[in-house]
Structure 1
Amino acid sequence: MQGPREIYRKLKNYRLSQKIGPVRRIDRVAPVPGRRVVAITFDDGPCAGPARPGPEPLTLSILETLKEAGAKGTFDIIGSTKFKYPDTKGKNGGPYWNGVRYDHYPEFGQDHLGGAVNQPDLVKRIVAEGHQLSNHGFSHAAFGPNKYPYAFRGFLPSFDAVVEDLRALDDFVLSLCGVKMELGRPPHYIDRILGGYDAYDAYRALGYMYLGASFDGGGWQASTGDFQRDVENMVRPLEEALSNDPDCLNGSIIFHKDGYNMSSEAPAPFGLKRQLAVLKAYGYEVVTVSELLKMSQFTDLPPDDPLYPAAEALLRAGYIVTYADNRVRPSKPITVRELNLMSVPAGVPYAAQRNSKLEDASDRGLFQVISQRMAAKGRAGRFSGESKRVDRKDIMEACLDVISNLSINEEECARRKALVLKRSREAGDTGVTRGEAIWLLAATFLGV
């Protein structure tokens, strides 16, 4: 029988598979051809507390381990939790181990040893050594309520409060070391925000992608009472996974802690050293998440797929290409709603269009042309209720109309039109798929 966490995870994944927008959740990407590449993330730091049972500061221990292995990490940092008192320490070994009302990092009563505000030199060193920073929230307060397992936890009261919390850390890091963060991970993966919003709305405001993970590196659970067994419990799942399929982690993101487990111990840096040795034995490169995305952008579209250059070009130009789960689903028939969202010109605020009618949501580009065609056919409606399939003639003629009105020379205009016609002929008479729409949009707007 499935537990509540597994049921919630499946429901969440289903919702992501139906959601389209500019924010992508990056859990893993399609395998990089000819290489084995993985990213590792480290949550809740930086931490100057000792890497128990050793005396060395925890984050420094992780950095030294990464350096020895020639690996790069992505550190999902916080600002500070020292402002979250009065509070009560919870029971070791449970979800409230570091505070009943709020999280306290690296542990209850020792907040001065953790977070970017209290440990700026650690943040500078992370950046100086070539690692990446990600926004885990200034206060590490949950974005919204959560019934299980954090029913007694406080949370941020509104969408504006969430954005303010994220922006506070973003601004601090930018002023400290000149780095603009590109990724965010909600504390405890709680996405819901009061008022009908979610983490994707907040990350859109910051220009972030949602940082997920696809493999649990361990080290955060309560101790077994035997430190060596705790370390072994981190390493064994990785060894078993790669023994069964050496390529299974290619393109994956591994979750790790830059802090203590629920028993205030630190097996993470000790297990990390052995995990990196295992990855090296199987020929894996360990890179930052941004480096991983430079090699492979999508979950279901590998870099050697013929469609990949067009999809990536649209993505880099600011167009929506994937569902929120970072899947392109190129063979799926495209709907009117999807096409309109995917053809919104770069720079048009997405939030302003979500509840707008198709015919008045934008005043330029293919979006306007197709919207007018749909309205003329009586198919205009609200995005949330629009699911009709796209007519092939509509999209082809709209693309040609748009190209005629672009500020490009006659030679380029003719080239793009020929490319659109070629793509349309290659598709045949079947329904317009998402892959075909990507070809046509890339040919129209980018000449790709």
Structure 2
Amino acid sequence: MSKFKQLGVANWLSESLLAMKITTPTDIQKACIPKILQNYDCIGGAKTGSGKTIAFAAPILSTWSEDPSAIYGVVLTPTRELALQIAEQFTALGASMNIRVSVIVGGEDIVKQALELQNKPHFVIATPGRLADHITNSGDDTICGLRRVKYLVLDEADRLLSNSFGDDLEKCFSILPSSDKRQTLLFTATVTDAVKALKDRPISKNKKQIFVHEVESLDKVRIPPSLSMYYFLVPSDGLKEAYLHNLLVNENYLEKSAIIFVNRTRTAEILRRILRLLELTVVSLHSEMPQSERVNSLHRFKAGAARILIATDVASRGLDIPTVELVVNYDIPADPDDFIHRVGRTARAGRKGDSISMIAPNDIQRIISIESKVNKKMTITKTVTDDSVIQSSLNKTTRAKRECILDMENENFGEKKRINKYKHELNLKSKTSKTFKKTKRSKKSKRS
């Protein structure tokens, strides 16, 4: 008997998993699948690469197949790339059952998406912002199917429950069935206080206690044992491009696939252009890119057509790219959890991988916080030296950077982001002004 069938997964799905050479359930799958099939709400915490998607997709697809209906489940996730990846997995798992999956994310044709929602797909995989747009603007014919959802999944729940998604989540929840009329499943690699707080919420009469599965050792969640953590010092921020180039052409890493993480979209674009001018095969992934380019970059990197991916944290969560051998933190993240998610892109499923952090003078406190969080010290690497940078990389990168910045200025790179920021500030001022006037009227009314 299939090990997945022993967990209660439907026969057809067990066969699909077998055809995909997925034969042995992971710890989180063994823990969560039976409980979800028993109608428990669930909070699942496990390290990246542990099979969280199948942990919620398998039980949902099993129960859906007993009485196929639309829209049966909604999966919310913080990034477009992760939404597309989850949709691919649902589609592959449900191929024999003619499953229909709709991806609702920003950067795509909103009218086409509205038509897909009107046609009632079986499952909707969405980012909160775009789904909230449809709920607000697309009309009841488009969103009415959301009122009958049986399952709501929050993938990368710690990120979704942060302040940045608050308004959009609230809008999404407003159209979905209440929590006592649906199953709610939260999955994350980082079980934050916001996630933990949900397990203590009041339970209605017809709901069971929330099932919580979290791996026992935080060390195992944080950093896989097959990951080696290194660092080297950079004298100043202005020299970082030269040091990065010198690392990537070093004989130890010349043939290895690498993700370079940065904190800003402008940095990602500058590095992409510099490294391309220096004849390295490189793509980028950041929020300033059109969605079609983001998808194309990811596909090229996964296929090995590009050895290097330069990305902001849109690529740090959940993306399954098994062949990544090196993660470089070009910029050190302010939040240690972001570091954990970044380095989790390598050393997956027991494979070996390296992470290298480029530490400038202002980064020391962040490194101390990261090492405290992961309970592991980084080791200095001699791969890059000041002499090798001066001899091989400094002049090249300086010339290339000057050319790239000039091109970006001519192309008005970042103009759309600046306009959106200005509109957001105007909107915020307008809301503040209305609130102030309302409060003032209320106080005046009380006095009279």
Counting strand residues as a fraction of each chain, which structure ranks higher?
2
TM-score range, shorter chain: under 0.3
TM-score, scaled to structure 2: 0.23
Which structure would you say has the larger RCO, counting Cα contacts within 8 Å and 6 or more residues apart? 1
Counting helix residues as a fraction of each chain, which structure ranks higher?
2
TM-score, scaled to structure 1: 0.23
